[in-house]
Amino acid sequence: MMDVQTQKIEALIGEMTLEEKIGQLQQCGPSLVGAFEVSFEELLDMMFDGRISQEEFGRLMSTAEKDFHEEDLRAGKIGSYNGVGDALTANRLQKIAVEESRLGIPLLFGYDVIHGFRTVTPIPLAESCAWDPDLWQKTARMSAEEATAAGVHMTFAPMVDVAKDARWGRVSEGAGEDTLLNGDYGAAKVRGFQGEDLSQTDAMAACLKHFAAYGAGEAGKDYNRVDMSKQRLWEDYLPAYKACVDAGARAVMPAFNDLNGVPCTVNEWLLRDVLRDEWGFEGITISDANAIAECVNHGVVADRQAAAKEALQAGIDMDMTSNVYAENLAGLIEAGEIAEDLLDQAVYRILKLKVELGLFENPYRTDEEKEKRTLVRPEYRALAREAATKSMVLLKNEAILPLVPQQKIAVFGELANDPGQMTGAWAIGAQENDCVSLVQA
């Protein structure tokens, strides 16, 4: 017998048009519009390639405005947003979804809250050195309280990619090379982010990433292939993700890389056989940014339409910012290439998460006043300092510490006098005026 919650969700799905169903699978990344003669993606490439300086990139970006695609939102074509991290914008968009779309289905806002939101804690690689699950849970709870006050419902964390090659550029986001440590760290973060009850206004869903073995790319190169035995995968890499699933994580993000020749984004063995059938995971899966479209680059599909088909069949519920589902699923279903039941299953899981978060009863879980009084509280700063203290590792002190005023200290490099660099990687909710540089300190 179906429970009341299931009946309500299935009744709502029964009212939805095909377009509205596909809309729930669409996570919109606000587009940047401005005085660009090229696309934003090409502008990024130009900076990375050295064709324009970082200063020139910053100047061009200062002219940009965000396009939230409000007309698509009114039409029921957007179910989620990525990168909205302030209460004013979140509530403005939520109001359109709830009051101006046909069915009034609330939005889900996702954000990268990796090691603090406005109050920054040590990067995960550092904080893991404390070997203190209670501390990790407390700092995640603090992050959830701040982020939810700013309108966030789901964080794309924890990252529990076991990383044994220090050349990999994303080592800082996880707990390093130890399988057990990654699992303990990730499970504590899940508990802290989600709290005791996901419907509470200070709880946010945890999305573990990147499933699986993202940290094992050949030669430490990001996005590179991962080719390993099943035994090594099960022993060294999968246990950390399993620990997060067992801790109750409500979302899973597949990795950009391929795994033994099959991209994780379209890897049915990984996403259905292991994650759902063997581990019993019932939450949502969400692609990494543009990852469904990048299956074309992997060479496993001919075009974006084929990528949409393969991803939904493999088990990807939500498309982060590639627009591949929005552009192709309706045609695939109408042509009989994909069964609509498969789409309904994905919609059900997304709506279920929104129900668990209490968004149908309380779509406006915060406001500007709550945001203002929550961010960077004194007790949060004290906890961040405690985390920093417990995370520090001093290998050998040869009469260097403590420093004394009479000592001369040489400080090298531009970054030492840049307050914005003090937050570490992926602290995108932080603000420079919260920081002091090393030179200032």
Residue 158 burial (C-beta neighbours within 10 Å; 0-12, 13-18, 19+): buried
The alpha helices in 62-215, defined as continuous H runs, are: 70-74, 87-100, 124-127, 133-149, 179-194
User: Nearest Cα to 328, choosing from 344, 309, 347, 345?
Assistant: 309
Cis upstream peptide for 212 (omega within 30°): yes
User: Nearest Cα to 124, choosing from 97, 155, 88, 93?
Assistant: 155
User: Nearest Cα to 248, choosing from 287, 288, 206?
Assistant: 206
**Half-sphere exposure in the Cβ direction for 203 (13 Å, CA):** 18
**Token pair listed for 364:** 């406006």
Distance (Å, whole) CA 141 – CA 157: 13
| Helix (H), strand (E), coil (C) string for 127-150 | HHHHCCHHHHHHHHHHHHHHHHHC
Radius of gyration of the chain (CA): 22
User: Nearest Cα to 20, choosing from 62, 63, 72, 67?
Assistant: 72
Please pick, among 112, 132, 236, 288, the residue that the annotation labels catalytic: 288
Distance (Å, whole) CA 229 – CA 252: 23
Give just the sign of the alpha carbon dihedral 238, 244, 246, 252. negative
Instruction: Please name the residues in contact with 360: beta carbons below 8 A apart, sequence gap of 6 or more.
Output: 106, 354
Give just the sign of the alpha carbon dihedral 316, 317, 322, 325. positive
Distance (Å, whole) CA 367 – CA 401: 45
**Token pair listed for 280:** 């019993």
Cα(first)–Cα(last) distance of the chain, in Å?
63
Is there a catalytic annotation at residue 288?
yes
**Token pair listed for 333:** 């279903």
Map residue 430 onto helix, strand or coil: coil
Position of tokens 């209670």? 134
| Position 341, amino acid | D
Task: Point out the residues that are catalytic.
Answer: 288
